[in-house]
């Protein structure tokens, strides 16, 4: 396993290099934020140990730039800044773990092992599809530049859809993730909330505006979503017939932009 240690304090950097090397890791060290971004972009590291206070750009910005560049190696922030606000900022900014100095070296290596087990899978802190964006930390969602006014359930539904691109979600799956045991499973509450969400998502671009609205695509996709069992292939219901399919096909305009939304929903 190859690590990049980003630490500008020479003694700490030397201690980390020695300890991690003895633990069996290949270790590169840099003390500069911009250099760290360059190295982590060029080399496929298995994890980063990232100090926050650095020359050039700070650790928050290093992490943000790496995630923006689609680099998803686990990042452990290791810093003397242990304010709760700093920890929240680091984790919401794309870091995977946060350890305050002074620290136990055994704990550091245990956390690194746990992070490396998870791998470098994409885990964006802001979810998006086309012009639709959702920030789980800020509890905010936008269509383009327009902030959407979503209720807690609508927000949870949208987050669920955006976290499962290329999947058809059945009512059962939606229930398991968005509702709790108190829901009796008999009423059509899911259909209602999906309807509310569809209207709010489309409002910023004008409901029914041909080529700019999500409506045609959601109308096309949601019957599939709500009528198919989990993990089905996303085809229309067998009873739908060709006219159903043709009627609900999206127009060519805008389809590229919304293809991911359709897939997500």
Q: Which is nearer to Ca ion, 97 or 159 (CB)?
A: 97
Residue 216, both tokens: 């045609």
User: Per this entry, what is the length of the chain?
Assistant: 265
- State the Cα angle at 104 between 100 and 106, rounded to 5°: 130
Sheet holding 146-147, edge to edge: 127-129, 132-135, 140-143, 146-147
Taking CB atoms, the residue at the shortest distance from Ca ion is 53
Name which of 54 and 129 has its Cβ closer to Ca ion.
54
Structure-token match 């840099």, residue found: 30
**Residues 7-26 within binding reach of Ca ion (CB under 5 A):** 8
Q: Which is nearer to Ca ion, 8 or 61 (CB)?
A: 8
Strands 97-100 and 75-79: parallel
CB of 16 vs Ca ion, minimal distance in Å: 12
Per rule CB under 5 A, is residue 32 in the interface with Ca ion?
Answer: no
Task: Please count the residues of this chain forming the interface with Ca ion, following the rule CB under 5 A.
Answer: 3
Closest by CA to 223, choosing from 199, 247, 204, 254, is 247
Q: With binding defined as CB under 5 A, does residue 97 bind Ca ion?
A: no
By CB under 5 A, residue 46 contacts Ca ion: no
Residue 110 in the binding site for Ca ion (CB under 5 A): no
Nearer to Ca ion, 51 or 159 (CB): 51
Residue from the set 50, 51, 73, 222 that interacts with Ca ion by CB under 5 A: 51
User: Can you list the alpha helix ranges (DSSP code H) found in the chain?
Assistant: 10-22, 33-42, 59-68, 84-92, 105-118, 152-163, 171-178, 189-202, 215-227, 241-248, 255-264
Phi, psi dihedrals of residue 5, rounded to the nearest 5°: -100, 120
Of 8 and 28, the one with the shorter C-beta distance to Ca ion is 8
- In this complex, which beta carbon is closest to Ca ion, that of residue 95 or of residue 156? 95
The window from 4-12, 91-99, 146-154, 221-229 that contacts Ca ion (CB under 5 A) reads 4-12
Among 10, 43, 53, 137, binds Ca ion (CB under 5 A): 53
Contacts with Ca ion, residue ranges (CB under 5 A): 8, 51, 53
């Amino acid at each position: 396993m190859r690590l990049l240690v980003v630490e500008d304090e020479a003694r700490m950097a030397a201690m980390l290099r020695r300890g991690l090397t003895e633990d069996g890791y290949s270790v590169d060290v840099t003390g500069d934020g911009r250099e760290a971004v360059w190295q982590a972009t060029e080399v496929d590291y298995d994890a980063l140990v990232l100090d926050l206070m650095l020359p050039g750009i700070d650790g928050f910005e290093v992490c943000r730039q790496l995630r923006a560049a689609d680099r998803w190696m686990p990042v452990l922030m290791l810093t003397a800044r242990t304010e709760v606000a700093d920890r929240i900022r680091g984790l919401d900014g794309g870091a995977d773990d946060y350890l305050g100095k002074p620290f136990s070296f055994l704990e550091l290596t245990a956390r690194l092992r746990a992070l490396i087990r998870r791998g470098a899978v994409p885990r964006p802190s802001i979810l998006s599809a086309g012009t639709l964006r959702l920030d789980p930390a800020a509890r905010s969602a936008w269509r383009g530049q327009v902030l959407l006014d979503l209720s807690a359930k609508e927000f949870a539904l949208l987050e669920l859809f955006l976290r499962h691109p290329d999947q058809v979600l059945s009512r059962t799956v939606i229930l398991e993730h968005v509702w709790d045991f108190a829901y009796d499973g008999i009423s059509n509450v899911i259909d209602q909330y999906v309807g509310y969400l569809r209207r709010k998502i489309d409002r910023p671009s004008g409901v029914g505006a041909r080529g700019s609205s999500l409506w045609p695509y959601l109308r096309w996709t949601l019957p599939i979503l709500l009528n198919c069992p989990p993990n089905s292939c996303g085809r229309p219901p067998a009873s739908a017939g060709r006219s159903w399919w043709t009627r609900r096909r999206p127009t060519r305009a805008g389809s590229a932009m919304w293809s991911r939304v359709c897939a997500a929903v």
